């Protein structure tokens, strides 16, 4: 079964995408060197193929190496992941998410002031 973007990024795919976004492009070797734990190159290649199938990355050949680029913006992924979390954990209520963040002290007063200013824009 083909994988889709709606499934979202796995934790490992998120690590790989961060490397690609931070560097604008990356080879398997670049990714391997920057991952916090060592993966064999065949595992990284398989993951990149899955990410290509999902529509997250594309590549071009440079000599014999494939150079991967993101075809989806970081902000789009962030928005999608947040919406999935809101739907799954908070019944679709962003207000409930914000309330939980405040109750859990994940947002301080300065953060709340910045949010208020954003809401007024």
Distance of CA 92 to the CA centre of its chain: 20
Residue 34 lies in a domain: yes
User: Both 109 and 79 in a single domain?
Assistant: yes
Q: Are 30 and 45 contained in the same domain?
A: yes
Query: Mean of the pLDDT values across residues 40-69?
Result: 96
Overall pTM surpassing 0.85 (yes/no): no
Residue 5 falls inside a structural domain: no
Q: Tokens 């080879």 map to which residue?
A: 27
CA distance 96 to 90: 6
Distance in angstroms (rounded) separating the CA atoms of residues 103 and 121: 25
Q: Kindly indicate the confidence band of residue 1, based on its pLDDT and cuts at 50, 70 and 90.
A: very low
In DSSP terms, 69 is beta-bridged to 58
pLDDT digits (tens, 9 = 90+) for 8-41: 899 999 999 999 999 999 999 999 999 999 899 9
Identify whether 102 is part of a domain: yes
99: left (phi over 0), alpha (psi -120 to 50) or beta: alpha
């Amino acid at each position: 079964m083909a994988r889709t973007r709606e499934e979202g990024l796995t934790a490992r795919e998120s690590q790989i995408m961060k490397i690609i976004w931070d560097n604008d492009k990356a080879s398997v070797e670049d990714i391997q060197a920057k991952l916090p734990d060592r993966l064999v190159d065949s595992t990284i290649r398989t993951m990149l193929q899955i990410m290509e199938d999902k529509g997250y990355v594309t590549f071009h050949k440079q000599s014999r190496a494939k150079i991967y680029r993101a075809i989806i913006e970081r902000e789009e992924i962030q928005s999608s992941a947040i919406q999935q979390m809101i739907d799954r954990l908070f019944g679709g209520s962003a207000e409930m998410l914000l309330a939980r963040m405040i109750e859990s002290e994940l947002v301080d007063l300065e953060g709340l002031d910045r949010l208020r200013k954003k809401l007024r824009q």
